[in-house]
Amino acid sequence: MAAHLCFTHTHWDRIQGFPFFGPAFDASSRLHIYGAAALNGASIKQRLTEQMLRPNFFQPLQTMTAALTFHNIQPGSPISVGEVRVDTMCLHVHTSALGYRVSWQGKAMVYASDTDPTAETPDPNLLFLAAGADLLIFDGTYLDMAYHDPESHHQAPWEMGVAIAKTTGVKRLLLFHPNPCHEDRYLANLEDGIQAGFPRAALAHEGMAVDLFHL
Ligand SMILES: [Zn+2]
C-alpha cells in the first residue's frame, strides 16, 4: 500500500498509535509522513523516532520495514500529492499545530486541531484555511468547557467551530475528539444542542465516512 500521513503536531494523543500502525511493518508499504518542525526545532522524523526509543517502546522506528519518507513542511507552503493539493497553516502559536486543507476536483476538506480556545477573535489562518470548504473537521476537545466553567468567558470550542463555519461558508462541520469521559447519551444531547444552532454540524464518530460529492 501507499499512504500519505499528515501530522498536525506531536502531542501524545496524536502520535501514540503510530508505533502500532500495522502497515508500517509491511515491507510492501510506502508511507509518506508530513509534519512541521516543533517549537524546539525537532523534525517530525525526530519526534516519531524518539517516541519509540526505550524505555518508551520496545521496538525502534528503524524496525518498521515499510519505505518511510519524511517531508518537512513549512507552514503556509502547499504540498502536492498527485492531483491533490494540500494547503497548510499554523493554527496555534503555543503548540505549532498545523491545519490542513485538502483540495481535489473542486472539493475541499479542512482538518483543524488544537486551535486556540482562548482567542478573542477567530484566527486569520483558520479563516483562510476554512474559507468555503465543503467539510471542516474541527477539534471539539472539551466540547462543553463553557458549561463546566460558568466563570469562563471563553467560548466552548464547538462554539468557535460553528462561528468559523458560519463565517467562512463551510458546508458541513464535524467536531471530533470529545472528552473520553462523556457517554454516548451525553454526547447525543450535546449534538442536538449544537445542531439547533447549526444544523449542518455533527459529532464525528468512529467509522464515519463523508462523501464530499454528496453532502
Ligand atoms: Zn494537542
- Model confidence band, residue 19 (pLDDT cutoffs 50, 70, 90): very high
CB of 109 closer than 8 Å to CB of 133: yes
Q: How far, in Å, from the CA of 11 to the mean position of ligand 1?
A: 5
Q: How far does residue 27's CA lie from ligand 1's centre (Å)?
A: 31
Distance 114 CA to ligand 1 centre (A): 5
* Domain 76-215 indexed as CATH 2.60.40.10: no
Residue 34 CA to residue 36 CA, distance in Å, equals 7
* Among candidate residues 2, 7, 4, 3, the one with its CA nearest the CA of residue 113: 7
Mean residue pLDDT across the chain:
91
C-alpha cell at 196: 439547533
- Mind listing the pLDDT tens digit for each residue in 114-162? 887 677 788 899 999 999 999 999 988 765 554 445 555 566 778 888 9
CA of 36 to the centre of ligand 1 (A): 14
Q: How far is the CA of 13 from the centre of ligand 1 (A)?
A: 7
Give residue limits of the domains in the chain: 1-73, 76-215
Each residue of 47-81: pLDDT tens digit?
Answer: 999 999 999 999 999 999 999 999 999 999 999 99
DSSP code at position 154: S
- Ranges 18-27, 162-171, 172-181: which has the least confidence: 172-181
Alpha carbon of 34 to ligand 1 centroid (Å): 16
Give one DSSP letter per residue of 67-120, joined into a string: EEEEEEE-TT--EEETTEEEEEEE--TTT-PEEEEEEETTEEEEEE-S--TT-S
